Amino acid sequence: MGQPALDNGRSWLLVLLVVLALSSLGFAIFSFVLGPELAQELELQRRSEVLVIPGTPDLEDFVEFWEEQGFFPLRQEKCSVLHRGNHPGQPRAWLQGQETWILVPGSFEGKLTTGLWELVAHFLDEGWSMQIEAHEQGYSLGFWSDLPGWEGRVLAHVWNLEVLTPNNYQVHRMGFLPVLGELFDPQDYLRGTSKAPVLAIIIDDWGYTNTAVDPLLAYPFPLTMAVLPHLQLSSEVSERAHGRGHEVILHQPMEALNSSLDLGPGGIMVEMDPEEQVAQLIQNLSSLPQVSGVNNHMGSRATEDPETMTQVLQVVRDLGLFFVDSHTSSASVVPQVARELGVSFGVNNLFIDNESDVEKIKDQVRKGLNLAKRQGHAVIIGHVRPTTALALWEMIPEFLSSEVELVPVSSLVY
């Protein structure tokens, strides 16, 4: 008869421990089940504080405003932050609203400041007291409001306006969240898929003066910039592209089947001594410290030659880089040699601007999007040309609605 009593005692002890554990997590559970604002209000009531929700501006109507300014509002995040202040005879607290809009520019000429000052003038006319703060990706607008029975004003609402760039694309466009130190995509989890369809766009031939340079560098989605070595703008454009958040790779000049074609500086020829090939590649890589990989410029003869590609890919492997076969020859040995050497590599699926016509370029990009949807991923290559830049800018609405995400080509090597 004694053993059951002991078991009952243990059972009550376990119940007590569970209750204590739950009570310590109580507010966290309320926050999860009831939402942060209601949970905060319940906590305030327990502390006998007065919760005030100040007046806030209605921002929903400004979606159309930003579209008229040439921007696509991508994401709107809302939350509230609890603030407390001292007040004679009665503690006071208020919920400060916070709202973040991600704006995708629809053209290279689109400037956030053009619409910003019009907005500020509108809210000032409505009687709001405001503050404006600039940050790296945009601006924050603060709205000040009176609290009943409170002397002075409080910051009632903060509207963050952030322009999409390659630096913040992964977080805002792909929806990744930091969970236990790793990036987690809740949309992929809900779909039950490992990854959404992805497309890498490589832009070749950087290093020359060209009117397409600035529009392509300003592109809001991530591109991979393949930079030729030792040209007038090679170093400068690599730094600018890297600073904007685009991936930079070396566009390595390599011998074509037509050996009379001018490769420019830094070229690798099949008849060069292996030591000379290696030295040339290392010199080219050293001139562009931002690069994370290599692809071939021309190279139809070199990529067909196992000895040349062995020398090139050994350097790529030893430096921890990757190689993308531009696929200028259907007889390329790059995949075979790369597998033998254990080099990360990828292969171009499609050139998009063999014809310098905006509509034809857009049709080629659409083929790339469809290929990515069919097989889950695709790599396409264009060049630093005004028509290519214009086509990509005009296709931003199609990219946004395509369910295909743009990624650096390093995401597609294996």
SS3 of 22-61: HHHCHHHHHHHHHCHHHHHHHHHHHCCCEEECCCCCCCCC
DSSP-based three-state secondary structure for 99: strand
Which bin fits 35, alpha (ψ -120 to 50), beta or left (φ > 0)? Answer: left
- Exposure class string for 169-206: b at 16+ Cβ within 10 A, else e: bbebbbbbeeeeeeeebeeeeeeeeeebbbbbbbbbbb
Answer whether 237's CB lies under 8 Å from 288's CB.
no
- Exposure class string for 371-386: b at 16+ Cβ within 10 A, else e: bbbeeebbbbbbbbbe
Answer whether 165's CB lies under 8 Å from 137's CB.
yes
Query: Mind listing the domains of the chain with CATH numbers?
Result: 50-163 (no CATH), 168-194 (no CATH), 197-412 (3.20.20.370)
The pLDDT tens digits along the chain (414 residues) read 333 333 444 444 444 444 444 444 444 434 443 455 555 555 555 454 566 677 788 898 899 999 999 999 987 888 888 877 665 555 567 788 899 999 999 999 888 998 999 999 999 999 999 999 998 889 999 999 887 766 668 888 999 999 999 999 887 765 544 444 454 454 454 444 446 789 999 999 999 999 999 999 999 999 999 999 999 999 999 999 999 999 999 999 999 999 889 999 999 999 999 999 999 999 999 999 999 999 999 999 999 999 999 999 999 999 999 999 999 999 999 999 999 999 999 999 999 999 999 999 999 999 999 999 999 899 999 999 999 999 999 999 999 999 899 999 999 998
pTM of the model: 0.82
Q: Which letter does DSSP use for residue 208 in this model? A: B
Integer Cα distance of 386 and 357 in angstroms: 10
